[in-house]
Amino acid sequence: TLERLAKDLQPGVLFATFGHPDPDQAVLSPLPGLAYSLILATLGDGFAKPRAVETALPERLWPLLEETALDECLRFATGILADEAEKDNCELSPINVLGDAVALEAALRKLDGAKLGVTLVDGRLSPSASWAVSLSWLAKSKAKRK
């Protein structure tokens, strides 16, 4: 079952960092910082077909599978971003999940969500197995460096 599901998934992730000042920073940056990064992760439409026909998995497991797969996409991107932030003597804020339609539209525009086939439909990301998040780049305090 899971092997068949893995073949249907089309995971993808886009990410970029935007320095201060940025016209969309107030909408997208979770905390005031030196910069902020956006991550767009999707599993594509891969869950729709198997979920409709697969009866071996209980329905309550589908959201957990989706969340786990999207978490892996985010973990990949945040690992790279954390390394880049470290080189600039910064650390990343906690992940801020974007849910507001205005923020989602700005994130899709900045990251060109069409590259992954992700669009905004009725104020929500489509395909539904998609997340948009932001993280601020915060200067490491001198006290923490000692």
Assess whether pLDDT exceeds 50 at residue 143: no
H or E element, residue 64: helix 61-87
Span 124-134, pLDDT tens digits:
999 988 999 99
Assess whether pLDDT exceeds 80 at residue 93: yes
- Of 10 and 103, the structure prediction assigns the larger pLDDT to 103
Task: Tokens 């998934």: give the residue.
Answer: 9
Task: Tokens 């990251």: give the residue.
Answer: 111
Strand-strand pairing, 35-42 and 119-121:
unpaired
Span 57-68, pLDDT tens digits:
777 887 888 888
Assess whether pLDDT exceeds 60 at residue 1: no
SS3 19: strand
pTM of the complete model beyond 0.85 = yes
Between CA 67 and CA 80 the distance in angstroms is 20
